[in-house]
Chain A
Amino acid sequence: MNEGSKKTIKLLCFSVLGMFTFSFALVPLYDVFCEVTGLNGKIELEATTNQNLETEIGRDVSIQFVSHNNEQMPWIFRPSESQIKIQTGKYHTATFYVKNPTNKRMIAQAIPSVAPSNAASHLKKLECFCFEEQELAPGEEALLPVRLIFDDELPDSIKSVVLSYTIFDVTDYNDLEMTDHHDGHEMEASL
């Protein structure tokens, strides 16, 4: 085999490795892209550090709260109020009611989403139950708060925003303290 062939082969092998790496690099790239642009309705799962969001003037925006349970998540989960009117540049606190009706201790994670997606980057949260996992004992209930604000740059065309949360069951059922069986996790057992 001549030198030229060897060089081509080397180059191609590097390209293959490079593209494989690139496919994994797409994961953080995608997250950064979504975060920067606020596309996909994704919002940060972190409290805002910007202290100067409160301003004098504000306009009315109506905000609707929506709750979803993922798969067979058995918790009762709903917003205390389904719709409120708030002003941009002012903090508001909303609450979600949640109850664990099962006889097991369970852990949940709520994931927020905002529609329309170009409102996402203007919705800031000082505090949110979605920043950390929520753990409830059997039968326990709670009111979970979210403290939010719309900044002044919210586009004028947006009069109403939907903030939805989906709660996911993230209980580790392999953990011995937790209880035995759960749907959707039989995969691990049978493979």
Chain B
Amino acid sequence: MSAVIETHDHDDHHHGPAEGLTRWLYTTNHKDIGTLYLWFSFAMFLIGGAMAMVIRAELFQPGMQIVEPEFYNQMLTLHGLIMVFGAVMPAFVGLANWLIPMMVGAPDMALPRMNNLSFWILPVAFFILLSSLFMEGGAPNFGWTFYAPLSTTYAPPSVTFFIFSVHIMGASSIMGSINVIVTIMNMRAPGMTLMKMPLFVWSWLITAYLLIAVMPVLAGAVTMMLMDIHFGTSFFNAAGGGDPVLFQHIFWFFGHPEVYIMILPAFGITSHIIETFSRKQLFGHTSMVWAMTSIAILSFVVWAHHMFTVGLPLAAELFFMWATMLIAVPTGVKVFNWVTTMFKGSITYETPMLFAIAFVVLFTIGGFSGLMLAITPADFQYHDTYFVVAHFHYVLVPGAIFSIMAAVYYWIPKWTGNMYDERLGRLHFWLSFIGVNVTFFPQHWIGLAGMPRRVPDYALQFADWNMVSSVGAFLFGASQILFLFIVIKTVMGGKKATPEVWEGARGLEWTVDSPAPYHTFSTPPKVS
């Protein structure tokens, strides 16, 4: 795609950012808000990561060593909630804010003030959630899936605050999605047809529709919990005619599309990076769009693969098994396209490319373990074991999170105007790559051997691999401090980046200066 910029922004000087802290509080600039989201998610990543360190420290050896089982459960619950809703999702929203307006040639997001609001309610939500640690009865302890009646009848009193914070997170996501969709649908530069749209924009368009569809269902689920707990209804209480299994259906109707919400933007990012560093045009742009669309649609009819063991009738077990396996087809198309793009390309292995290649390989491993779990009779054995933990960490850590890191390395020269330190970036990659695999690969084995998930203690035969896994986790955790250091170093200074940054990079964002001026595309570029 080629772009012609008709005019540069000449009025930068009287439209620069405000000074001081209020700049961040009142900002409606998509780049500022993107930065806020990214820093917020980084903070959450470190907090959630610290909790993971507590978990792995306790599991370092069998027996109860460091924390009480009650506290272990709270750590596990908060770790999951914070990583999903605090780290991965806001990071993608941050990237969307920074990149979508620049990629479609729009001056800003469509609803800048709502954009400000949707960011600033997030820290409030997580403040509430984290403060539950200090409440009587402790923080939520029922797992990130908050199954009733664990989260209703047996929940600590802080569950009400949990519900409130989930409502706020949901509102934030919904507002963010509305903004994304309106921007993409109505503010594209002239000449940018839907099919010419960059894949990251496409992936976010689809993600935003998924969010619009399922976040309200999540809100409904927690509202029903609230009513069961405080207003005497019985949505999930069998004594009053309700059904706890209904909770699982509603939760996973939200939950499965949610896992794709956490991976679709990663697909977009990976496509851009592989294209750039292979120095070839991406293979199969159109099929990528269709693959993402069909994955999104299918994600609504597979939710019960999380519930194979609740006692579904045979017909449902079979339906959800086949529907789940069907998703592997469009997923396979994507992996095929990435590999084909790299094939015979003149590849160089800068840090973003390293993370992107690792993404393709390790995400595929996660996809394969997902396929194993989709086989109903096999899942009867694997369900609620560490095999499931290994599966979803492979798709989420070297999947979603590696893609976010790749994106940061890839676009940070555009954001800051400085190149990151390539040597340190590669070191960070290799430490993370080794750490992630040492942590999560052995969890496949202990899971197949029968170790249940969500336990603070375990039988002796699982001891060795748990210790290995913990060592890997500490390595992975420590290497993220290096990441923080690299990011700060790049913000502070470094080799100046050219506007194009990467040789042959495609897309409108590479046509503006580095760092990108505070206002870009006040006059829309022409796309041909």
Asked if B181 and A12 sit within 8 Å, CB to CB, the answer is yes
Q: How far is the CB of B448 from chain A (nearest CB, A)?
A: 29
Measured CA separation A108–B15 after assembly (Å)? 70
Measured CA separation A40–B110 after assembly (Å)? 47
Return chain A residues, CB-CB under 8 Å to B187. Answer: 5
Closest to A174 in B: B232
Interface assignment of A37: CB less than 8 Å from any CB of chain B: yes
Interface assignment of A26: CB less than 8 Å from any CB of chain B: yes
Closest to A109 in B: B239
Return chain A residues, CB-CB under 8 Å to B328. Answer: none
Interface residues of chain B: helix, strand, loop or mixed (majority): helix
Interface residue from B182, B224, B235 paired with A5 (Cβ < 8 Å): B182
Asked if B181 and A8 sit within 8 Å, CB to CB, the answer is yes
Return chain B residues, CB-CB under 8 Å to A111. Answer: 238-239, 241
Interface assignment of A117: CB less than 8 Å from any CB of chain B: yes
Measured CA separation A19–B211 after assembly (Å)? 11
Return chain A residues, CB-CB under 8 Å to B110. Answer: 1, 5
Return chain B residues, CB-CB under 8 Å to A2. Answer: 186
Number of A residues, CB within 8 Å of B: 42
Interface residue from B160, B219, B246 paired with A26 (Cβ < 8 Å): B246
Measured CA separation A184–B215 after assembly (Å)? 30
Within 8 A of B (CB), among A2-30: 2, 4-5, 8-9, 12-13, 15-20, 22-24, 26-27, 30
Contact with B along A173-191 (1 / 0, CB 8 A): 0000000000010011011
Return chain A residues, CB-CB under 8 Å to B238. Answer: 70, 111, 166, 168
Interface residue from B174, B230, B249 paired with A188 (Cβ < 8 Å): B230
Return chain B residues, CB-CB under 8 Å to A8. Answer: 181-182, 185-186
Asked if B230 and A191 sit within 8 Å, CB to CB, the answer is yes
Measured CA separation A70–B239 after assembly (Å)? 9
Interface assignment of A39: CB less than 8 Å from any CB of chain B: yes
Interface residue from B217, B221, B313 paired with A39 (Cβ < 8 Å): B313
Measured CA separation A187–B182 after assembly (Å)? 43
Measured CA separation A130–B343 after assembly (Å)? 68
Return chain A residues, CB-CB under 8 Å to B388. Answer: none
Measured CA separation A187–B312 after assembly (Å)? 32
Return chain A residues, CB-CB under 8 Å to B239. Answer: 70, 109, 111, 168-170
Contact with A along B131-168 (1 / 0, CB 8 A): 00000100000000000000001010100100000000
Asked if B230 and A20 sit within 8 Å, CB to CB, the answer is no
Given contacts A111-B239, A168-B239, A190-B136, contact A23 B221 (CB under 8 A): yes
Interface assignment of A118: CB less than 8 Å from any CB of chain B: yes
Q: How far is the CB of A184 from chain B (nearest CB, A)?
A: 6
Q: How far is the CB of B450 from chain A (nearest CB, A)?
A: 26
Interface assignment of B240: CB less than 8 Å from any CB of chain A: yes
Interface assignment of A144: CB less than 8 Å from any CB of chain B: no
Return chain B residues, CB-CB under 8 Å to A109. Answer: 239-240
Return chain B residues, CB-CB under 8 Å to A40. Answer: 243, 245, 311
Q: How far is the CB of B368 from chain A (nearest CB, A)?
A: 31
Interface assignment of A126: CB less than 8 Å from any CB of chain B: no
Interface assignment of A136: CB less than 8 Å from any CB of chain B: no
Q: How far is the CB of B249 from chain A (nearest CB, A)?
A: 7
Interface residues of chain A: helix, strand, loop or mixed (majority): helix
Closest to B110 in A: A5
Interface residue from A19, A26, A41, A187 paired with B157 (Cβ < 8 Å): A187
Q: How far is the CB of B255 from chain A (nearest CB, A)?
A: 13
Return chain B residues, CB-CB under 8 Å to A23. Answer: 216-217, 219-221, 224, 250, 253
Interface assignment of B214: CB less than 8 Å from any CB of chain A: yes
Given contacts A5-B186, A169-B239, A190-B136, contact A27 B212 (CB under 8 A): no
Interface assignment of B213: CB less than 8 Å from any CB of chain A: yes
Return chain A residues, CB-CB under 8 Å to B261. Answer: none
Asked if A9 and B182 sit within 8 Å, CB to CB, the answer is yes
Measured CA separation A2–B253 after assembly (Å)? 35
Asked if A22 and B217 sit within 8 Å, CB to CB, the answer is yes
Given contacts A12-B181, A168-B238, A191-B157, contact A30 B213 (CB under 8 A): no
Closest to B155 in A: A187
Asked if B313 and A24 sit within 8 Å, CB to CB, the answer is no
Interface residue from A19, A34, A118, A190 paired with B213 (Cβ < 8 Å): A19
Interface assignment of B327: CB less than 8 Å from any CB of chain A: no
Within 8 A of A (CB), among B313-333: 313, 316
Asked if B235 and A27 sit within 8 Å, CB to CB, the answer is yes
Interface residue from B217, B249, B313 paired with A117 (Cβ < 8 Å): B313
Asked if A24 and B212 sit within 8 Å, CB to CB, the answer is no
13 A-B pairs (CB sep. < 8 Å): A4-B186, A9-B182, A19-B212, A19-B217, A20-B216, A24-B220, A27-B235, A41-B311, A111-B241, A166-B238, A169-B239, A170-B240, A191-B160
The chain A residues found within 8 Å of chain B, CB to CB, are 1-2, 4-5, 8-9, 12-13, 15-20, 22-24, 26-27, 30, 34, 37, 39-42, 45, 70-71, 109, 111, 117-118, 166, 168-170, 184, 187-188, 190-191
The chain B residues found within 8 Å of chain A, CB to CB, are 110-111, 136, 153, 155, 157, 160, 174, 177-178, 181-182, 185-187, 212-217, 219-221, 224, 229-230, 235, 238-241, 243, 245-246, 249-250, 253, 311-313, 316
Closest 6 CB pairs of A and B: A23-B220, A168-B239, A19-B216, A20-B216, A23-B217, A5-B186
Taking A23-B224, A39-B316, A109-B240 as given, write out 6 further A-B residue pairs in contact, using a Cβ cutoff of 8 Å, ordered by the A residue number: A2-B186, A19-B214, A40-B243, A70-B238, A184-B153, A191-B160
